[in-house]
Amino acid sequence: MSEVRFDGKTAIVTGSGNGLGRSHALLLASLGANVVVNDLGCSVDGSGESTSTAQLVVDEIKAAGGNAVANTDSVTDRSQASNIVRTALETFGDLHILVNNAGILRDKSFKNITDEEWDSVIDTHLNGTYNVTKAAWPHMRENNYGRIVVTASGSGMFGNFGQTNYGAAKSGLIGFAKALGHEGAKYNIKTNILCPAAASRMTEGLMPGQMLDKIKPAAVSPIVAFLCSEEIDVTGALFEAGAGKFTHANWARSLGYKTDAEDGVATVDEIKAHWEEIMDMSEPKVLDNPAAAMGEFMS
């Protein structure tokens, strides 16, 4: 039996009818968690809905001896997002874990993207995560316990062609989760960030089949489970996971260039002359909190 267990704990996993979310839900349930399987049953672009998608995962969990309940509310509607949390409380009596996984894709070059394609992606990823987390937060504070996982992406870290909407949402989620990490610390609420690489409905058209075969969703879920455990000792941290590889990622800055001007105002020609120093990342400085980052910069 696994040393990491979730007996007596209740978890919500949004967007858990397929892919990564389903894998997370199955693993948490197999380790003893009561799981709210939330999924609207929509397509990858957010259109349509089906009540059977979440229920099929619940049936799979129960067939394996676990406890789960289906919920088909939309994370983009604040009243429905509150109902996702209410489902956990009314069915299992409490809430300890929230895995924000729900998302859609509407890739389009910036030149061609419509306002609706922008808004729908921001609304699902960024606002949807806010909506469910906002509803869960008071219960976790009251319990002096909570574990939250926010799903970001390499597109939010580095950008990607045709994903200004998706990249903006995912980058926003990184800042959101890092801020929550600070705010929840004294309440024993740990919030961490996952940037996964896995085969799913959202990635099947973006990667060759041979690669997708090697990046199964189940290879990502173990770190999600650990981030949801009592044992996790970090908050506001960002992790990349895929194909059995797990890394901790962070911001870094170059040594940079400091002007000798007494008033601290460099000339544009100085910037040009010292551009290589500013860009040189051969000796990066890694900083993991705003106080240290600002202190080191100002010094």
Query: Which DSSP state fits 134?
Result: H
β-pair partners for 35: 11, 68
**Between β-strands 34-38 and 67-71, what pairing exists: parallel, antiparallel or unpaired?**
parallel
What integer pLDDT is reported at residue 43 of this predicted model? Answer: 58
pLDDT digits (tens, 9 = 90+) for 61-100: 999 999 999 999 999 999 999 999 999 999 999 999 999 9
CATH class in words for 252-298: mainly alpha
Catalytically active residues, by annotation: 166
CA 214 from chain centre, in angstroms, equals: 22
CA distances from 292 to 6, 250, 289 (A): 35, 13, 6
Whether the model clears a pTM of 0.75, i.e. scores above it, the answer is yes
Domains 10-249 and 252-298 alike in fold: no
One-letter identity of residue 278? I
In a 3-state reduction of DSSP, which class is residue 37? strand
How far apart (Å, rounded) are the C-alpha atoms in residues 203 and 163? 13
Q: What are phi and psi of 251, to 5 degrees?
A: -75, 150
Element (H, E) at 277: helix 275-279
Quote the pLDDT of residue 292.
72
- Using an 8 Å Cβ cutoff, are 89 and 139 in contact? yes
Q: Which fold has domain 10-249?
A: Rossmann fold (3.40.50)
Q: Residues 129-146: pLDDT tens digits?
A: 999 999 999 999 999 999
Predicted confidence at residue 298, as pLDDT, reads 66
Q: What is the mean pLDDT of each run of 10 residues along the chain (299 residues)?
A: 94 97 98 97 61 94 98 97 98 98 96 97 98 98 98 94 97 98 98 87 56 80 98 97 93 95 97 98 87 69
Question: Both ends of the chain: CA-CA distance in Å?
Answer: 51
Closest residue by Cα to residue 88 from 11, 186, 171, 2: 11
Structural domain boundaries of the chain? Answer: 10-249, 252-298
Check if the beta carbon of residue 140 is closer than 8 Å to that of residue 187.
yes
